[in-house]
Amino acid sequence: MASKVRGNMTQFWLQHSNEGSIQEMMLDSEADKLYKDEQAEILSLLPSLNGLRVLELGAGIGRFTGAISDTAEHVTAVDFMAKFLDVNKANNRNRTNVEFEQADVTKLSYARGSFDLIFSNWLFMYLAEDELKALAVEMLRWLRPGGYLFFRESCFQQSGNAEREFNPTIYRKPADYNHTMEEVSSGPEFPGGERHGFDLVISKSVQVYVKMKKNQYQLCWLMEKTCRKANDGSMQKFLDTRQYLSNSILRYERVFGRGFVSTGGLESTKEILAPLNLQPEERVLDVGCGIGGGDFYMAKTFGVDVLGIDLSSNMVEIALERSVEENTSKVQFEVCDATKREFPEGMFDVIYSRDTILHISDKLAIFKNFHKWLKPGGRVLITDYCCGDRPWSDEFSTYVKKRGYALCTVAAYGKTLQDAGFSEVQATDCTSKFVECLHKELACVEKIREAFVKDFSQAGYDEMVNGWRRKVERCVAGEQKWGVLRGTKPTLNNQTV
């Protein structure tokens, strides 16, 4: 497979590298319109390049080489097409910190820890799966601990066709890249079982392509090389392989309604959002956006711009499909870890989160970030799983541990918001509303049992029904709670000193 892919790719690029033009490089007759905005957007997603040693794979004619070398200490620019590399050399001949190398990326060899950042734009989609995995292992070695991998690829939607107008391209689903990078983060590298892996920082659509081409499937990733202990996987792996499998997400959507995987679906979303008094053009951050139903509702109903973020790549992959159906540029999605993501101070008017913060143990830290990211007068609205006072039963303790939840009481939740600097905090125990929704959803799934089992499975049906019944039991026992939390970032006039 790999040799066939490599042969097809070589033949294709020999035919499409006659001039070394920007149109050839981007395979787009409108490249002149896309180029500058696309370059600026992609460069804005990189970490600070000051003093870094950068390996640029698939450097081509140097669309990024010069801009990266303006700040980086050193750039090694690699491409296997002589014509493209010649143009790159000509464009960057006066840069003494750039080294050029004509080579096949699958045959490179560098010392361990040689680079601080590996940058690749439209390369991995030309590699067979075994080649990509082998290269990912090598990139882990080439990067220093704490170094970054950035790559951008063309993907296809889950229900789409992987074929394209030219043979050498391998279109993957967005989540496939996350899963591949997680899979290679498994071999011990040091004595004692310690190993290195790629932790996701951010994955998102290139917005220039969304706006100009209505294309959500030009995606980029930023990953960090981190130390892990033996048998320790990332939270993203836990979510994507255990808690939020694609099939499980679609099962929940069947009950909650199109686009929703949270309690009450559209009905509860309308009710919870009403007091926010959202205004046109306000900017909303949805932390734990799921598959985007609430985001599309906010954008269409109130005219707000929404950025939905979620750590589950399975969730966001489905959200991207839904965004194609919704056909709106007012909603963006990112796969990222909210505890590691950084936004400019005062970027948002509203931060909204549905049943997500239960995965985060340091709630004070994330709420302080929320406070920083909001404008003065900005609002925060959270619904989340909470708990009753301890001691808990063994059954509830096991449930919380198995799910990896970090639960607190509704009152403690509210106090943490206050400690983070929010005023006008309301922490409301809405467990009765939660139970009411559970009963409705249980009745719904029982009503559509035959169709549900046909589309999914009897085991999937039993899992959902039993799960809802146990939630009701835990709520009635007073162990599981559901809270609705609101707060406001004080304006400059009412901030306490």
Q: Could you give the 3-state DSSP secondary structure of residue 393?
A: coil
- 440-to-191, 265, 408, 444 alpha-carbon distances in Å: 54, 11, 26, 6
Q: What is the mean pLDDT of residues 326-341?
A: 90
pLDDT of residue 37: 84
pLDDT of residue 158: 43
In DSSP terms, which residues pair with 387 in a beta bridge? 480
Residue 163 pLDDT exceeds 80: no
Query: Bigger pLDDT: 321 or 240?
Result: 321
pTM: 0.83
pLDDT-derived band at 162, boundaries 50, 70, 90: very low
Residue 41 pLDDT exceeds 80: yes
Q: Could you give the 3-state DSSP secondary structure of residue 365?
A: helix
165-169, 275-279, 453-457: range with lowest mean pLDDT: 165-169
Q: Could you give the 3-state DSSP secondary structure of residue 404?
A: coil
Q: Give the pLDDT confidence of 484-493 residue by residue, as tens digits.
A: 999 999 997 6
pLDDT of residue 159: 39
| Spatial separation of the C-alpha atoms in residues 66 and 95, rounded to whole Å | 8
pLDDT of residue 229: 62
65-79, 166-180, 184-198: range with lowest mean pLDDT: 184-198
Location of structure tokens 């060899």? 109
Location of structure tokens 């696309």? 38
Q: Give the pLDDT confidence of 43-53 residue by residue, as tens digits.
A: 999 999 999 99
Report residue 275 as tokens: 């007091």
Instruction: Enter the CATH code of domain 239-488.
Output: 3.40.50.150
Instruction: Enter the CATH code of domain 2-232.
Output: 3.40.50.150
Residues of the chain with CATH 3.40.50.150: 2-232, 239-488
Residue 38 pLDDT exceeds 60: yes
Q: Write the CB contacts of 318 (distance below 8 Å, at least 6 apart in sequence).
A: 158, 246, 249, 250, 253, 291, 292
As a whole number, the mean pLDDT across the chain is 87
92-106, 112-126, 150-164, 224-238: range with lowest mean pLDDT: 150-164
Q: What is the mean pLDDT of residues 125-154?
A: 93
Query: Bigger pLDDT: 85 or 1?
Result: 85
Q: What is the mean pLDDT of residues 111-136?
A: 93
What is the total residue count of the chain? 497
Are 59 and 107 spatial neighbours (Cβ–Cβ below 8 Å)? Answer: no
Q: Which of 4-18, 42-56, 204-218, 220-234 has the highest mean pLDDT?
A: 42-56
Query: Bigger pLDDT: 273 or 14?
Result: 273
104-108, 224-228, 280-284: range with lowest mean pLDDT: 224-228
| Spatial separation of the C-alpha atoms in residues 428 and 383, rounded to whole Å | 10
pLDDT-derived band at 165, boundaries 50, 70, 90: very low
Residue 421 pLDDT exceeds 90: yes
Query: Bigger pLDDT: 15 or 336?
Result: 336
Q: Give the pLDDT confidence of 261-277 residue by residue, as tens digits.
A: 988 999 999 999 999 99
Which of these, 441, 396, 401, 418, lies nearest to 496 by C-alpha position? Answer: 418
Of all residues in the chain, what percent carry a pLDDT higher than 90? 62
| Spatial separation of the C-alpha atoms in residues 97 and 66, rounded to whole Å | 10
Q: Write the CB contacts of 434 (distance below 8 Å, at least 6 apart in sequence).
A: 263, 475, 482
